[in-house]
Amino acid sequence: MANKTKPSPLPLPLDYEPMNALLVPDIPTSGAWQFEPKWDGFRCLAFKNGGSIELMSKSGQPLARYFPEVVEAVAALKADSFVIDGEIVIPGEGGALSFDDLLQRIHPAASRISKLSAEIPATFIVFDLLVEGGKSLADAPLSERRARLETFAKKQFKDRDRITLSPATTKHAVAERWFKQVGGALDGIIAKRLDVPYQSGNREGMVKVKKLRTADCVIGGFRYAENARVVGSLLLGLYNEDGLLDHVGFCSSFKAPERKELLKKLEPLIAEPGFTGQKPGGPSRWSTKRSTEWQPLATKLVGEFRYDHFTGGRFRHGTKLLRWRPDKAPQQCTIDQVRSEAKMNLLKLGAA
């Protein structure tokens, strides 16, 4: 559990938003970049100030109660005042990471969390140092922060099973070799500009490359199935530049038992307005009245969806739900995730 004592505050607030990455199709080859594995876990900022330990998610939600073993690992570090950025992961079978086991931790019962943390403990993989000795390093370039982090990790990280340093390289060939291993423990490759400071909440100077095209989307509504009171399709949304939730596609690839379970999850959330920007379209010559009706949802659910193409402000085909993302705030699901994909398609069209 996080310590509730109140020592002098760190130079970064607890709701400090991590630096984000823009999805791009290829690993950068020009410019000065640092490459890192993209781990399949929960993004986390760990704060330590004296006896006070806090773990905060990407959306600014506290994670300490769900990962007591990570709290203990951070507390065991001898340094008195720091903020580190990393990923909480749970090792699975065969060297892969288990995102399903992570999701099991987001549970209201403290007894269940305690049991799981003992049986299937998490590891905190650290890749940035934002505060050291009570002083902010956020304005320093990555090259300086990484050097400070490596020194910090060498002195501090003793129990490498619970807290460890993420590998990094400036060699493109090494990054390409890592990318070929994507699919086990790795979710992709992260590339960071060596000369930029830590840009909270921004996507400038940090990109990610994934073999699968995926996007985190808000569930803005759903449609009932044609001939049964089960979920027919999820209606997906992304926030535009004006902060409005646009309807950008659908997901209907579910088995019959999943459709029933989804209904239990969605019906309690039915509420206006759902989408506040572009809304699902009206009838067409292929649709029936029932299939065009949709139920708006309170914007609380986020899922990661695989897709083939994104053009004209929409996923061109149906998508597939990979997993729910309770660690991500709906407002973080923006059009920026797929903007580079849209630009790439436009360039291809222009070249044709």
**Can you give the pLDDT at residue 317?**
75
The two tokens of residue 103 are 């999701």
What does the domain layout of the chain look like in residue ranges? 22-209, 214-351
**DSSP bridge pairs for 93:** none
> Is the CB of residue 99 less than 8 Å from the CB of residue 184?
no
Burial class (CB in 10 A: 0-12, 13-18, 19+), 205: buried
- From the candidates 6, 38, 300, 328, give the one annotated as an active-site residue: 38
Is 208 a known active-site residue? no
Considering the entire predicted model, what is its pTM? 0.72
The set of residues, in sequence order, having a beta carbon less than 8 Å from that of 290 and lying 6+ positions away, is: 224, 226
Architecture of the domain defined by 214-351? Beta Barrel (2.40)
pLDDT for the residue 121: 95
Return the closest-CA partner of residue 279 out of 289, 266, 290, 294: 294
CA angle 4, 9, 15 (to 5 degrees): 80
pLDDT score, position 96: 75
Kindly list the distances between the CA atom of residue 28 and the CA atoms of 33, 175, 178, 320, in Å, as whole numbers in the listed order.
8, 10, 14, 28
Cα 77 to Cα 46, 48, 341: the distances in Å are 12, 9, 42
From the number of C-beta atoms within 10 Å of its C-beta (0-12, 13-18, 19+), residue 60 rates as middle
The pLDDT assigned to 91 comes to: 86
Series of mean pLDDT values for 10-residue runs along the chain (352 residues) = 57 94 90 93 95 94 96 96 96 78 90 95 97 97 98 93 95 92 77 96 90 91 92 96 96 94 96 95 45 86 89 82 94 84 34 26
CATH superfamily of 22-209: DNA ligase/mRNA capping enzyme (3.30.470.30)
